[in-house]
């Protein structure tokens, strides 16, 4: 089944944005049923949705203008393979300000075409054929395939809702073999919304140091945390900076999915090898997008805080609603996903998703798409508040028939 989210036609892994033109909007909605929420949203605007849309527009406008100005000014040439220096400096400054980790902008920051490219580069640059990479699951859909594409062997490390989907040092130790090269983690987590405590991360750091593991830490959702949780940058833990590649980007906190801008931060020798692969496959990330990303870092913080507050409002709505409907839902403290158990229905995740889509025009993602078991589905709350309310009403009807 195609990967979708609780609002119809949203992407499986990385957040999609509403089209900005009537033509694009028609392209997205073409062929959908008339009663599908995304179809109706093209012509109907309610107060909560209008408020959210206005906030999103306010957030995007300076970024859009910066990109447009760069085109008008003729800034359409290649940049340095590593990216515009000013952008790398701003990225390094933000990481240091937020997490106290210092990186040298010229040699330890690499601007990439989204975090997906950064993930690919880290795998290709460090893995030899047959090297094993331990990957906690459920996880972002690309993690295990990227290991395979680089000639490595992904080793799933299942996590459980009973443990808040956190990874234990004991479970990690049990999977290490002489072929283990790295640990690939992604917290806050897609699809569960789980976060890792400092204590648990410190336990993993001790294992990484003792067993000489490289750690690739995907922290794309680092700014989207709730309920008092404070994100911990893995590279900021004692002894971890020199054995960690940190992946980050602009798609989530700045809603810049289509701009395709991410970065890798890490020790200069590792980044030098990643840069070689990058320069011969990509050359450089798009110049216009880099300039827009710099604008986001320099002037976007207030908008990030507003987005976090709005996501938190939606998070409480969807988690509370799903629990009330008899779909036990772990409290996510990061990202913008809820991960309810559908075991009470007696259906598989794919059966549940297909039936819910067919009967109520509400789309969710089967848990097995993320390497999880078949008793969970993923719901995204990266959509308007009133769409979530509408989806919950439809799920309630569905549960009356199947719960």
Same-domain check for residues 288 and 162: yes
Tokens 């073999």 label which residue?
Answer: 177
- Which residues, including other chains, have CB under 8 Å from residue 298's CB and lie 6 or more apart? 90
Return the pLDDT at 6: 53
CB 330 within 8 A of CB 164: yes
- Residues 304 and 56 sit within 8 Å (Cβ to Cβ): no
Phi-psi region of 30 (alpha: psi -120 to 50; beta: other; left: phi over 0): beta
- Judgement on whether residues 274 and 127 belong to the same structural domain of the protein: yes
The average pLDDT across 44-57 equals 46
CB atoms within 10 A of CB 330: 19
> Do 359 and 1 touch, CB atoms closer than 8 A?
no
Mean pLDDT across 352-369: 97
> Within a domain: residue 366?
yes
Predicted pLDDT of residue 31:
34
**CATH code, domain with 102:** 3.40.640.10
Asked if residue 308 and residue 228 are part of one domain, the reply reads no
pLDDT confidence of 393, banded at 50, 70, 90? very high
Q: Which of 12-16, 137-141, 399-403 has the lowest mean pLDDT?
A: 12-16
Q: What pLDDT digit, counting tens, does each position of 271-312 carry?
A: 999 999 999 999 999 999 999 999 999 999 999 999 999 999
Report which of 4, 41, 12, 329 is spatially closest to residue 193, judged by C-alpha positions.
329
Angle, to 10 degrees, between the axis of helix 301-324 and the axis of helix 385-402? 20
Domain count, the chain: 2
| Beta carbons within 8 Å of 203's beta carbon, 6+ residues apart | 168, 169
Task: Give pLDDT, residue 61.
Answer: 87
User: Is 80 exceeded by the pLDDT of residue 365?
Assistant: yes
The residue among 299, 333, 353 that closes a domain is 299
The reported pLDDT for the residue numbered 56 is 53
Boundary-marking domain end, from 299, 325, 349: 299
385 pLDDT band, cuts 50/70/90, is very high
Q: Which domain holds residue 110?
A: 85-299
305 and 248 part of one domain: no
Start-to-end CA span in the chain (Å): 22
**Mean pLDDT for the chain?**
88
pLDDT tens, position by position, 309-342: 999 999 999 999 999 999 999 999 999 999 999 9
- Do 333 and 239 lie in one domain? The reply is no
Q: What is the pLDDT of residue 338?
A: 98
CATH at 354: 3.90.1150.10
pLDDT at 260 over 50: yes
Please state the rounded mean pLDDT for residues 150-164. 97
| Mean pLDDT confidence for 26-31 | 31
| Nearest residue to 94 via CA among 250, 307, 208 | 250
Please state, in angstroms and rounded to a whole number, the distance separating the CA atoms of residues 363 and 378.
Answer: 9
| Bond before 63 cis per omega within 30 degrees | no
Tell me what pLDDT residue 58 has: 63
pLDDT of residue 97: 98
Same domain, 117 and 195: yes
pTM of the model: 0.85
**Which pLDDT band, with edges at 50, 70 and 90, does 27 fall under?**
very low
- For residues 138 and 223, membership in a common domain is answered with yes
Same domain for 307 and 185, yes or no, is no
Q: What is the pLDDT of residue 48?
A: 43
The per-residue pLDDT for 18 is 36
Mean pLDDT lowest for which of 29-33, 216-220, 232-236, 385-389? 29-33
Helix axes 349-360, 385-402, angle to 10 degrees: 110
Over residues 119-124, mean pLDDT: 98
Higher pLDDT residue, 110 or 50? 110
With respect to residue 293, please indicate whether it lies within any of the assigned structural domains. yes
Q: Which of 251, 282, 299 is the last residue of a domain?
A: 299
Contacts of 318 (CB under 8 A, 6+ apart): 6, 329, 338, 379, 381, 388, 392
The answer to the question of residue 7 being in a domain is no
Within-domain flag for 77 = no
């Amino acid at each position: 089944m195609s990967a979708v989210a609780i609002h119809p036609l949203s992407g499986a892994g990385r957040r999609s944005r509403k089209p900005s033109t009537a033509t694009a909007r028609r392209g997205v909605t073409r062929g959908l049923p008339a009663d599908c929420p995304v179809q109706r949203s093209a012509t109907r605007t309610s107060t909560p949705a209008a408020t959210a849309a206005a906030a999103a527009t306010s957030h995007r406008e300076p970024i859009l203008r910066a990109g447009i100005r760069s085109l008008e000014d003729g800034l359409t040439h290649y940049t340095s393979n590593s990216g515009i220096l000013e952008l790398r400096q701003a990225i390094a400054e933000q990481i240091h300000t937020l997490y106290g980790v210092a990186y040298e902008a010229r040699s330890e920051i690499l601007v990439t075409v989204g975090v997906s490219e950064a993930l690919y580069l880290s795998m290709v640059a460090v893995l030899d054929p047959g090297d094993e990479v331990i990957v906690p699951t459920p996880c972002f859909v690309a993690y295990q395939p990227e290991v395979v594409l680089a000639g490595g062997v992904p080793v799933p490390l299942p996590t459980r809702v009973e443990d808040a989907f956190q990874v234990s040092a004991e479970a990690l130790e049990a999977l290490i073999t002489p072929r283990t090269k790295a640990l690939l983690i992604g917290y806050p987590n897609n699809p569960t919304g789980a976060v890792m405590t400092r204590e648990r991360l410190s336990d993993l750091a001790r294992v990484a140091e003792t067993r000489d593991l490289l750690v690739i830490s995907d922290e794309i959702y680092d700014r989207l945390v709730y309920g008092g949780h404070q994100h911990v940058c893995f590279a900021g833990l004692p002894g971890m900076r020199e054995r960690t590649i940190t992946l980050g980007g602009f798609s989530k906190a700045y809603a810049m999915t289509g701009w395709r801008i991410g970065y890798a931060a890490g020790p200069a020798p590792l980044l030098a090898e990643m840069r070689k692969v990058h320069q011969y496959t990509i050359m450089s990330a798009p110049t216009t997008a880099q300039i827009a990303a710099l604008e986001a870092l320099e002037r976007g913080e207030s908008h990030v805080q507003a987005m976090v507050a709005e996501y938190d409002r939606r998070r409480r709505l969807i988690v509370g609603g799903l629990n009330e409907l008899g779909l036990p839902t772990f409290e996510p403290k990061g990202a913008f996903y809820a991960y309810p158990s559908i075991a009470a229905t007696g259906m598989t995740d794919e059966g549940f998703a297909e039936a819910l889509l067919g009967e109520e025009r509400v789309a969710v993602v089967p848990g097995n798409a993320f390497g999880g078991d078949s008793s969970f589905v993923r719901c995204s709350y990266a959509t308007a508040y009133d769409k979530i309310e509408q989806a919950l009403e439809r799920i309630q009807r569905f549960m009356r028939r199947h719960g």
